[in-house]
């Protein structure tokens, strides 16, 4: 019974909280929130007594929302600014969307007032089509003007945004696809990538190829194209210079550590004797046997192979029009090769499991310097990617 009362109280608390938020939204002019909350509640169960309040809220919010949105539309029209048709179109679409979401819920009956809720629905088809036509014309004309009179790449990108919106709004409108392609190509930043090794070590060719394979970086940058192989007759906007200044490779090292371990281990059995030296017997007269222990010792020799590489450099951006460096970021990476193995002298039973496992390991050949540098490549690539994602040309 207590559990039932708790669940009932929780349900009432949640319901009151939702209705309070819906009323607050209504009273503060946030009609869409009030409408959305009410529709969600009524769609779940429109006949539930506790949901009656949402019918009243929905009816009131709908009426006030329509009045405000139509007033806003009239104001935008009076401004006589073609750019306003994007807002006008969206407002008409929102008015229509609210109606379409309410219609499946009808009829909604207010029990206390003994009446159906009233929603003065209107057809906005003509207004939507009219606004859509004017918006499409504006977008096309504005984008065409930007393309014809562009002074920088931002103009082409703005034209591209207008044209792609137009294509979503009205597919295959005039020559919009050709203009989209033109705007996109003109709005691109072309970046030539230069990899410089200013160290006394040789970079593995595979590492160079991996670092310069920008298709694997996942940059998802709409307006930047990277060329690792410069093209003739291409006017590049920027240079991305990846420069390695220092590569330090440690000597191959093998360190040894001796550990002496002792342990009490079972070594057969013996008869239990008392203080008087006599054998102790059980209640049946049988001599009692006990485990016999002795101390064993093992000399454990742990060997550790170690070799590491540290790579330092910079990632720099240059504006090829002004011949100036824009920015530079430090680049540092490394890789550590380690291998542990062991042997022993003495009684292996003195060793614990963590040491015993190392006895099955073997010494392995040290990786070459070239392999060490290449193994640092994955971390290098991640750090270069992080810099590329953080820095945007425009």
pLDDT band for position 14 (cuts 50, 70, 90):
very low
Closest by Cα among 299, 270, 302, 380 to 335:
380
- Name the strand (E) or helix (H) holding 197: strand 189-197
> Residue 144: how many CB atoms within 10 A of its CB?
17
- Choose among 136, 183, 135: nearest CA to 155: 183
**β-strands 224-227, 115-116 pairing:** unpaired
Radius of gyration over alpha carbons of the chain, in Å? 39
Q: How far apart are CA 377 and CA 205, in angstroms?
A: 11
Residue 105: which pLDDT band, with cuts at 50, 70 and 90? very high
Q: Residue 3: which pLDDT band, with cuts at 50, 70 and 90?
A: very low
The domain ranges of the chain are 2-122, 132-187, 192-394
The pTM of this model reads: 0.72
Map residue 392 onto helix, strand or coil.
coil
Residue 9: is its pLDDT beyond 70?
no
- Identify the pLDDT of residue 17: 61
Could you report the per-residue pLDDT of 319-369, keeping only the tens digit for each? 999 999 999 999 999 999 999 999 999 998 999 988 999 999 999 999 999
pLDDT category at 104 given cuts 50, 70, 90 is: very high
Comparing CA positions, the residue from 45, 65, 63 lying closest to residue 54 is 45
């Amino acid at each position: 019974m207590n559990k039932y009362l708790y669940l009932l109280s929780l349900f009432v608390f949640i319901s009151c909280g939702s209705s309070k938020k819906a009323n607050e939204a209504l009273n503060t002019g946030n009609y869409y929130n009030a409408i959305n909350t009410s529709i969600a509640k009524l769609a779940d169960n429109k006949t539930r007594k506790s949901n009656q309040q949402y019918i009243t809220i929905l009816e009131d919010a709908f009426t006030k929302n329509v009045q405000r949105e139509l007033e806003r539309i009239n104001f935008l029209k009076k401004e006589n600014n073609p750019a306003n048709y994007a807002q006008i179109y969206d407002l008409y679409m929102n008015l229509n969307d609210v109606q379409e979401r309410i219609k499946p819920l009808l009829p909604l009956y207010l029990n206390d007032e003994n009446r159906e809720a009233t929603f003065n629905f209107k057809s906005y088809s003509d207004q939507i089509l009219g606004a859509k036509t004017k918006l499409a014309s504006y977008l096309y004309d504005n984008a065409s003007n930007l393309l014809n009179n562009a002074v920088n790449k931002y103009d082409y990108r703005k034209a591209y945004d207008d044209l792609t919106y137009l294509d979503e709004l009205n597919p295959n409108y005039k020559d919009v696809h050709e203009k989209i392609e033109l705007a996109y190509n003109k709005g691109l930043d072309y970046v030539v990538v230069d990899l410089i090794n200013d160290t006394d070590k040789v970079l593995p060719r595979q590492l160079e190829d991996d670092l310069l394979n920008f298709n694997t970086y996942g940059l998802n940058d709409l307006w930047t194209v990277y060329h690792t192989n410069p093209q003739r007759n291409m006017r590049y906007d920027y240079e991305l210079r990846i420069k390695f200044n220092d590569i330090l490779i440690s000597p191959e090292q093998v360190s040894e550590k001796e550990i002496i371990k002792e342990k009490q281990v079972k070594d057969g059995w013996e008869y239990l004797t008392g203080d008087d030296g006599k054998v102790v017997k059980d209640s049946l007269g049988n001599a009692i046997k006990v485990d016999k222990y002795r101390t064993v010792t093992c000399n454990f020799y742990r060997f550790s192979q170690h070799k590491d590489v540290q790579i330092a450099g910079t990632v720099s951006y240059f504006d090829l029009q002004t011949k100036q460096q824009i920015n530079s970021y430090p680049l540092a990476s490394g890789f550590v090769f380690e291998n542990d193995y062991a042997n022993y002298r003495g009684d292996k039973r003195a060793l614990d499991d963590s040491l015993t496992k190392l006895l099955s390991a073997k010494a392995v050949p040290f990786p070459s310097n070239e392999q060490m540098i290449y193994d640092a490549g994955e971390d290098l690539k991640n750090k270069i990617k992080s810099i590329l994602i953080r820095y945007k040309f425009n």
